[in-house]
Structure 1
Amino acid sequence: MSTGSVSIYRRTCRRVGLDRNPLRRRADRVQTGVAALLALVFLIIVPVLAVIVGGGVYRMETAAVQAETARLHRVDATVIEAGRAPLYAPVIPARVSWKDAAGGTHTGDYQSTTVVQPGSTVSIWLNDGGSIVEPPSSTRAVSKAVLLTSAALVGVAVVHGGSYWLVRRRLDRRRLRQWETEWVAADLTWGHG
């Protein structure tokens, strides 16, 4: 280690309370230990929570999307008429026509996320009643898993931060009482006695 890195190491240890300073009180060492313990527990909980919550939510949502996909069926439809997309919406209204398995022709309103022209073919999803529905989401499982895992991690972080704050507050009160006691003793010893 170079001299510069040694001084950075010592400075960092001193700032976080890991030096052997004789003026550092027991309460200061307890506070540093609690902070290190909470940080270690948090670093252990993060991957475990990500696997348990994230993996569980992902599996459940994937199964839900697969079940939804099994109830729907995909059909190629021909665009009969295309409307104009409003400025505020990324969809283009269109009127489409498709044939069912029995050979009957059906029409319906479709919201396209791409530019469509009359006569073009689009894939639509139909429910059991033959109505046009939204296609199954390919990103729902991942986005829900990320969202719920993030919420769980924020919750754990808040609990850890709150725990540290409570410990620090109690230790600060104890340090204040010790200071007052020591100042009274100093005043009796050095003061007006």
Structure 2
Amino acid sequence: MHHRSPAAGGNPLRRDADRTRTRLRAAFALACLLAVTCGVAVGRTAWTDAGRDAAEIARHRHSVAAVTVGETTHRAGDGPSTRPVTVARATWRDHENRIHTETVPVPVVTRSGDTVRLWVDDAGQAASAPPGTPDIALNAIGLGTGAAGAVALAAGFALYARQRIVDARSAQEWEREWESVEPRWSGRLRPGQGAGDD
């Protein structure tokens, strides 16, 4: 039992492995705190950057009234898991009074001759709407959560591996100590031990 080193007033049955396990639990708690801090920092940075980018995009996007000049059709989405998009030919004038005609996304119930609102870029071409606050927030939350999860998982894996090593060493120590105690405790002789041997 030479691996026990109780401090003054400490538990004499507490082993070095028990102390190491306690330190590992404390380290995991600190790692979780660090993960949350990293997640918040990444989320804030993503929010700030995305907000700045959205403001820049919004400076070059303009909402115009377009008039549909054809019936609606359905176009496949950009990816295999995206829903089809309802589109129609529409015409509009840009800020320099030039006429543009393109196939653009429209609401499902749109008919020929209906007026729809459309986002265009500085050249008057159809463009996506500038990112809104919900999009920016979802992006920031996703990146922050991903960063926090990555830090927590990395720390958890490292501490779990260390815990396994501590458990294996502790089991080996118990085996060695049990081999020295068991013959006396049980009264059985060890191999090579005579009846009068101690």
Q: TM-score, normalised by structure 2?
A: 0.74
- 8 Å CA contact 2:75–2:87 kept in 1: the answer is no
Could you say which residue in structure 2 is the equivalent of 1:72?
Answer: 61
Could you say which residue in structure 1 is the equivalent of 2:159?
Answer: 164
Q: Which has the larger radius of gyration?
A: 2
Structure 1 CA distance, aligned partners of 2:155 and 2:36?
A: 16
Q: CA deviation at 1:90?
A: 4.5
Structure 2 CA distance, aligned partners of 1:126 and 1:80?
A: 18
Q: CA deviation at 1:40?
A: 4.0
Alignment CA distance shift 1:116-1:22 (3 Å): farther
* Residue 101 of structure 2 corresponds to residue 111 of structure 1: no
Instruction: Give runs of aligned pairs for residues 29-44 of structure 1, distance below 5 A.
Output: 29-42=19-32, 44=33
Structure 2 CA distance, aligned partners of 1:62 and 1:98?
A: 29
- Structure 1: unaligned runs, 5 residues or longer: 1-19
Q: CA deviation at 1:50?
A: 3.2
**Residues 114-172 of structure 1 deviation map (CA, whole Å, 9 limit, x = unaligned):** 53122222111222332211212224322221221121111111122112212211211
**Residues 43-72 of structure 1 deviation map (CA, whole Å, 9 limit, x = unaligned):** x22442233110110110111111111122
Structure with more relative contact order (C-alpha pairs < 8 Å, separation 6 or more):
2
Identity of aligned residues (%): 27
* Residue 157 of structure 2 corresponds to residue 176 of structure 1: no
Alignment CA distance shift 1:29-1:129 (3 Å): same
Could you say which residue in structure 2 is the equivalent of 1:152?
Answer: 147
Alignment CA distance shift 1:86-1:140 (3 Å): same
Instruction: Give runs of aligned pairs for residues 1-193 of structure 1, distance below 5 A.
Output: 24-42=14-32, 44-85=33-74, 89-138=83-132, 139-187=134-182, 189=184, 190-192=187-189, 193=193
How large is the RMSD of aligned CA atoms in angstroms? Answer: 2.6
Structure 1 CA distance, aligned partners of 2:89 and 2:17?
A: 73
Look up the SS of the partner of 1:110 in the other structure. strand
Structure 2 CA distance, aligned partners of 1:21 and 1:82?
A: 83
Q: Which amino acid aligns with 2:117?
A: S
- Structure 2: unaligned runs, 5 residues or longer: 1-9, 77-81, 194-198
Could you say which residue in structure 2 is the equivalent of 1:15?
Answer: none
Structure 2 CA distance, aligned partners of 1:107 and 1:181?
A: 85
Which of the two has greater helix per residue? Answer: 1
